[in-house]
Amino acid sequence: MTDVATTDVQAAIKADVENNDVVLFMKGTASMPQCGFSSRVAGVLNYMGVTFKDVNVLASPDLRQGIKDFSDWPTVPQLYVKGEFVGGCDIITEMTLSGELDALFDQKGVTYDKDAAEKIREANG
């Protein structure tokens, strides 16, 4: 039997993912990340000028476990774009450096600063 809290958390996660173009489930917030991995992904999105919803998984143990169950992915941060789970810190870093993240944003119609994305690649090339 599923308990009510778990059901509510899953419903809230689903609503966030479906109702926002870009969602980052992270430790802390975009303005105050609480771990290096969350800080890196939020930093990339902020630098690229992507509008995104940040969800602080440290706000609730149910949410922290719930997002892992929702995606079947064991770690946080987790990035969702237009309802699709994209990945965690390592995947987002690789996609940023390869240009795959730009392509995904283009494909999904997400606005971002192409020059900023290029500067990230130049600085890390």
**Going by DSSP bridges, is the β-strand pair 22-26/53-56 parallel, antiparallel, or unpaired?**
parallel
Tokens of 44: 């990339």
Angle between helices 89-98 and 36-47 (to 10 degrees): 30
Residue 118 three-state SS: helix
Q: What are phi and psi of 116, to 5 degrees?
A: -65, -40
Q: Is 89 annotated as a binding residue?
A: no
- Known binding-site residue numbers for [2Fe-2S] cluster: 35
- Known binding-site residue numbers: 35
